[in-house]
Structure 1
Amino acid sequence: MKATEGGQQMTVKRPKLKRSIIDCDIHHYTGMNVIKPYLPREYRELVDTYGAALPGGMHFNGGVGGRMVDSFPPAGGPAGSDLAYMQEHHLDPHNVEYGILTGEGMGMHGTINHDYAAALCTATNEYTIEHWLAQDSRLKGSVFIPKQEPNLSAQEIDRIGGRADIAQVIVSSGSIFPYGNRYYNPIYEACVRHNLPFTIHVGGEGSGVNAATTGAGYVTHYIESRAARPQVMMAHLASFIFEGVFERFPTLKVVLQEAGVFWIAPYLWRLDQDWKALRVQTPWVKKKPSEYFRTNMRVTTQPIEITPNREVFDQMMDSIFAKETMMFCSDYPHWDFDSPLKALPKLDDELWDRVFYQNAADIYSLPSRKAERDGKQS
């Protein structure tokens, strides 16, 4: 990439990964100013007159406005808003063969105005298709849905879920009910129809109509909210299993994104233990909870916990079945971006390949590496 020093332009060399990867969480900019042209006229006029009327922004963030200092395009504009700069700054140097776009801002998931939420989701999806997916074949999209209205959500999934450049359905972790609740069944039926994973990305907890940040209530600081993210994902994970979602929809895959990783190990131990004692109450749960996690759920790496030593790291990786369940994500361009060069300790070749490519390729129905298809060494 190019930078300036003393007014002179110079080239900054970045190390490049030899083997290509799949990045499961790239936040392209989807602010109101870029999606508004895709809204129906009545909503454009309302936004112009009254503003966006969306919940959000309860806590301060990290970095510069929550973004890396060097992620802002040199020509101006928000981080993640310039495809050419993203290519130069992240996709090319990190050898990203495929990147899953996850947008910015989930305020639509907290509004009580379901029709407005649906319009915002459609506008976000249409903007992404035209300005991102059509411009770089490496990029795959996420279907934003108004998850607080499952029937409208299913309609949006059916509208674009069959496209080859759409990889998943995405919602915020902030919700009205835990996601295993039968209220959401129309969404899962649509996901199964189109073979799309259902991804829960952190955000929106305690915002608008969504439940409080924690089981104890609202928190004061961003660090508290960040620390509570596993608690929210725990509720969703248990809900999927004990409500019997994976018995009703055995092919459905669920991705837990950006809420940490290693908390899952002791939580699965606890769920397995309690299921053995209480399974008479949920006879439709045919397998141990850990088995449902292993077959139907996936977790992304960012932000992975730093363990006291390598032995603990390896034990935790084994305990969450990482070779089958873990997928890399960078969280670009957020302030806590994880470089694929530094995110994890050195892994053996097979595990590295599963985490950085193959697990995501399997769940998103993506091909093997181009280098492998071409018969070259990757």
Structure 2
Amino acid sequence: MSVDKRSIIDVDIHHNTPNVQAIFPYLSQVYRDQISEWGLLLPSYPFMNGGKWGRRVDADPPEGGSPGSSLEHLRRHHLDPFNVDYAILTGEFYTAGTIADVHYASALCSAYNDYTRDHWLDKDDRLRGSINIPKQHAQMSAQEIRRLGNDKRFVQVLVPGGAEKPYGNPFYDPIFEACVEHGLVFTIHIGNEGQGINPSPTGAGYVSYYIESRAARTQTMMAHIASFIFNGVFEKFPTLKVVMQESGVMWIAPYLWKLDQDWKGLRYQTPWVVKSPSEYFRSNMYVSSQPIEITPDPAMFKPMLDAIWADEKLLFASDYPHWDFDSPRLAFPKLDPAYRQRIFYDNAAELYKLPPRL
């Protein structure tokens, strides 16, 4: 029996492979041999996450395999009980964007994308995919986007928050050109800050504990927002849509206020920025809800949402099956039904060109 009769769109579900051998059919023999001998050789964080290896303790599929690796368990555990009409798969593989060997990174991204298509998108019409790219090589990334861009089940291009350069840098223009060409959203999911070829996760250096890394996520997204706006990305690519995932929500309002104030005094330095930063955010950027901050005074919650135009810009995300999963039933206080429908369905349907709720 469903826990909520209102259907939703969940924009952040981390599907996985049962093991690394699952992507071997999509890799050359050279890389199959390399991985068999040495492992994936991907960097990881040097501190503990929460839950069970970062996942919910009840997310292990009964049939075996890692959390998020079973479509059947995802259906039973999340999609069906919460009436998820559409689920955007974000995966667990964007760490490929942290390695210096761009050819290996490109091969891993292509293999994971093809695995997602064959083992997930082909098996449930509710699922939509993300194109993983080797973001450290813009031309290879654009090539991968164009390889898959005609498959409309892929609705976005996914990159980690950790990056060698903020994403507004002109280095990334070929990626944005390919996104616009295929009508794909560009999504930044927090992760990989300070890993591999990516620089320090904070302006003050490296952190000691996971909770510090979590607290520093806003720094990462602040840098990317400012970079997009002041490098004029939305003037060059006015139809490009950008989503920020898993970095919180409420901080955006005062940050936009600050950007608007600074722009007024310094806009002679960036004459191509013809609108205020908050106008660019409202026209081109979105944010997903998980993990949404709970205001100490409940009366502040709705005004803070209004300050970031949540009825236009906020997308519901559960982050399943991670330990800090947000239940569609519990993540928000009671909202006006029309307002709730915008956040839990309509905003994502319009952004990702999905059918309206019936």
Shorter-normalised TM range: over 0.9
Quote the Cα distance in structure 2 between the aligned partners of 1:230 and 1:33.
35
Counterpart Cα distance in 2 of 1:59 and 1:102: 23
Opposite residue 237 of structure 2, the aligned amino acid is F
Aligned runs of 1:89-238 on 2, under 5 Å?
89-238=77-226
The alpha carbon displacement at 1:77 in A equals 1.1
Does structure 1 conserve the Cα–Cα contact (< 8 Å) formed by 2:179 and 2:185? yes
How big is the shift at 1:33?
3.1
Counterpart residue identity of residue 3, structure 2: K
Q: Structure 2 unaligned runs (5+)? A: none
One-letter code of the match for 1:208? G
Q: Equivalent residue for 2:355?
A: 367
Q: CA deviation at 1:105?
A: 3.5
How far did residue 99 of structure 1 move? Answer: 0.1
TM-score (norm 2): 0.98
Q: Deviation string for 1:203-227 (max 9, x for gaps)?
A: 0000000111101110010000000
Q: What TM-score do you get using the length of structure 1 for normalisation?
A: 0.93
Aligned to 2:48: 60
* 2:24 corresponds to 1:36: yes
> 1: CA distance between counterparts of 2:46 and 2:182?
35
Per-residue deviation, 1:19? 1.2
> 2:282 & 2:95 partners in 1: Cα distance?
31
d(CA) in 1 for partners of 2:42, 2:62: 30
For residue 207 of structure 2, what is the amino acid of its counterpart?
V
Secondary structure at 2:10's aligned position in 1?
strand
AA aligned opposite 1:283: P
Aligned residues: 357
User: Aligned-pair distance for 1:301?
Assistant: 0.3
Cα deviation 1:115-142 (Å, max 9, x = unaligned):
1000000000000000000000000000
CA RMSD after TM alignment: 1.0
- Secondary structure at the aligned position of 1:125 is classed as helix
Contact residue 9 and residue 349 of structure 2 kept, 8 A: yes
**Other-structure match for 1:84:** 72
Q: Is the 8 A contact 2:311 2:339 kept in 1?
A: yes
State the alpha-carbon separation in 1 of the partners of residues 95 and 11 from structure 2. 21
Q: 2-side partners of 1:252 and 1:211: how far apart? A: 26
Q: Distance in 2 between matches of 1:207 and 1:32?
A: 20
Per the TM alignment, residue 144 of structure 1 is displaced from its structure 2 partner at its CA by 0.3
SS at match of 2:187: strand
1:304-343 pair list within 5 angstroms: 304-343=292-331
The worse-fitting range, judged by mean Cα deviation, of 46-55 and 333-342 is: 46-55
Mapped to 2, the partners of 1:296 and 1:38 lie a distance apart of 35
Structure ID, larger Rg: 1
SS at structure 2 position matched to 1:89 = helix
Matched residue SS, 1:71: coil
- What CA distance in whole angstroms lies between the structure 2 residues aligned with 1:225 and 1:214? 8
Gaps of 5+ in 1: 1-12, 373-378
Which amino acid is the alignment partner of residue 70 of structure 2?
Answer: D
One-letter amino acid of the structure 2 residue matched with residue 20 of structure 1: S
CA contact (8 A) 2:44 2:195 kept: yes
Cα distance in 2 for partners of 1:44, 1:172 equals 25
1:342 is paired with a residue of what secondary structure?
coil
Once the two structures are TM-superposed, the CA of residue 302 in structure 1 deviates from its matched residue by 0.1
